[in-house]
């Protein structure tokens, strides 16, 4: 792993998590969703620490498409400390033996799904969480991390520029079915499953409510504005804002995300929910221009629907005071550096 282009980032992760890894020495861990954006960073950082600290730990990674990891990150797939288990999170066969830690990061995205895919998405979230919890009980798991979403809060009030953690969530989709809220509902009821298992079976569970991110492995051609903007710039195309550019968002760099997830798993207080993200907000218009500044010639920024009147701001930004005060977490990598690092990684010939 010495020639890993992410070496500096992985050293950054190790610097901020070194004391935590002793909990995993000689242990086996189980990860669902191990081949997506979150999963690749969990695997990169786990294997980096495993090698640097001589942990002699191993991981079993559940994936429906092991060949996807072998193509995307062959050095991960080939590492002897990893075992790729083929299966669907909703009905996977339980691997034998004990697993000290489980990270349930498998999920379907909520955007751009056809109506016939919504049921599958909800099944994957709800049934997949239940299956992972059942497995953790059988495997003698000590700590379980569920990666939820900031989407559980619903629409962020315009007068709250930073959303604080709360357990009482308003679910209008329960009172009146709204297909746009199925992802919110699935994630929230999965959190309730976690809470139930923690209380009934004394399973130590923490929940990470994740907001928005950027970095290597982040999908550029999916439905996320920051990835689309970077891809536009790399192709030499104008950066296209599909809305009016006024919503506020914030982005945590991938290496910091890895620090946060490992810290919440290994040091988070049992039963607690933590927002995961950056509180450094930026409008979509400003984001597009900051991305455009990284390219020569500088691409134009096009707004499809310019705002014609003053309106209440649209926020999707977390408060991270709890993670700061309880766990010492923060966004270490600034947004402009995060953008630059992402572009640099995707500019490698092997990533084009």
**Angle formed at CA 42 by CA 260 and CA 219, multiple of 5 degrees:** 95
**Per-residue confidence (pLDDT) for residue 306, from 0 to 100:** 81
Region label for 208, one of left (φ > 0), alpha (ψ between -120 and 50) or beta (otherwise):
beta
8 A C-beta contact, residue 310 and residue 184: no
Give, in words, the CATH class of 7-218+251-277+315-334.
Answer: alpha beta
* Torsion over CA: 129, 134, 135, 140 (sign): positive
**Per-residue confidence (pLDDT) for residue 28, from 0 to 100:** 98
**Per-residue confidence (pLDDT) for residue 3, from 0 to 100:** 83
Long-range contacts of range 330-335, CB-CB < 8 Å, 24 or more positions apart? 331/252, 331/253, 331/256, 331/278, 331/279, 331/280, 332/12, 332/16, 332/253, 332/256, 332/259, 333/12, 333/253, 333/255, 333/256, 334/280, 335/251, 335/278, 335/280, 335/282, 335/290
**Per-residue confidence (pLDDT) for residue 44, from 0 to 100:** 98
How many alpha carbons fall within 13 Å on the CB side of residue 194?
A: 30
Query: What Å distances lie between residue 10 and 1, 16, 50, 217, 234, CA to CA?
Result: 11, 10, 12, 14, 25
The DSSP bridge pattern shows strands 252-253 and 213-214 to be parallel
Burial of 135 (0-12, 13-18, 19+ CB in 10 A): buried
From CA 318, how far away is CA 274, in angstroms rounded? 10
Per-residue pLDDT of the chain (352 residues), as tens digits, is 558 999 999 999 999 999 999 999 999 999 999 899 999 999 999 999 999 999 999 999 999 999 999 999 999 999 999 999 999 999 999 999 999 999 999 876 655 556 668 888 899 999 999 999 999 999 999 999 999 999 999 899 999 999 999 866 665 545 555 667 888 889 999 999 999 999 999 999 999 999 999 999 999 998 899 999 999 999 999 999 999 999 999 999 999 999 999 999 999 999 999 999 999 999 999 999 999 999 999 999 999 888 777 789 999 999 999 999 999 999 999 999 999 999 999 999 877 5
From CA 72, how far away is CA 219, in angstroms rounded? 12
> Helix %, strand %, coil % for the chain, to 5?
45, 15, 40
Phi, psi of 61 (to 5 degrees): -115, 120
**Per-residue confidence (pLDDT) for residue 114, from 0 to 100:** 62
């Amino acid at each position: 792993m010495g020639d890993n282009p992410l070496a500096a980032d992985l050293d950054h992760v190790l610097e901020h998590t070194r004391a935590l890894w002793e909990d995993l020495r000689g242990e086996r861990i189980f990860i669902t969703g191990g081949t997506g954006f979150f999963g690749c960073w969990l695997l990169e950082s786990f294997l980096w620490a495993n090698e640097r600290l001589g942990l002699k730990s191993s991981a079993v990674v559940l994936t429906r498409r092991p060949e996807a990891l072998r193509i995307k990150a062959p050095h991960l797939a080939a590492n002897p400390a990893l075992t790729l288990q083929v299966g669907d999170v909703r009905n996977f066969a339980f691997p034998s033996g004990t697993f000290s830690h489980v990270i349930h990061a498998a999920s379907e995205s909520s955007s751009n799904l056809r109506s016939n895919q919504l049921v599958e998405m909800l099944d994957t979230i709800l049934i997949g969480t239940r299956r992972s919890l059942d497995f953790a009980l059988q495997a003698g798991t000590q700590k379980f991390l569920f990666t939820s979403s900031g989407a559980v809060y619903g629409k962020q009030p315009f007068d709250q520029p930073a959303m604080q953690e709360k357990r009482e969530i308003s679910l209008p989709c329960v009172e009146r079915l709204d297909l746009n809220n199925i992802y919110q509902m699935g994630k929230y009821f999965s959190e309730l499953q976690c809470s139930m298992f923690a209380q009934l079976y004394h399973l130590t569970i923490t929940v990470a409510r994740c907001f928005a991110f950027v970095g290597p492995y982040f999908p550029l051609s999916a439905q996320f504005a920051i990835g689309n903007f970077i891809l536009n710039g790399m192709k030499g195309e104008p950066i296209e804002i599909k809305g009016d550019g006024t919503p506020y968002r914030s982005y945590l760099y991938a290496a910091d995300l890895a620090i946060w997830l490992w810290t919440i798993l290994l040091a988070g207080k049992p039963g607690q929910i933590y927002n995961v993200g950056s509180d450094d907000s930026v409008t979509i218009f400003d984001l597009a221009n900051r991305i455009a500044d990284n390219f020569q010639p500088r691409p134009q920024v096009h707004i499809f629907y310019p705002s014609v009147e003053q309106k209440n701001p649209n926020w999707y930004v977390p408060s991270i005071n709890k993670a700061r005060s309880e766990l010492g977490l923060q966004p270490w990598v600034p947004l402009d550096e995060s953008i630059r690092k992402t572009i640099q990684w995707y500019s490698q010939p092997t990533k084009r």
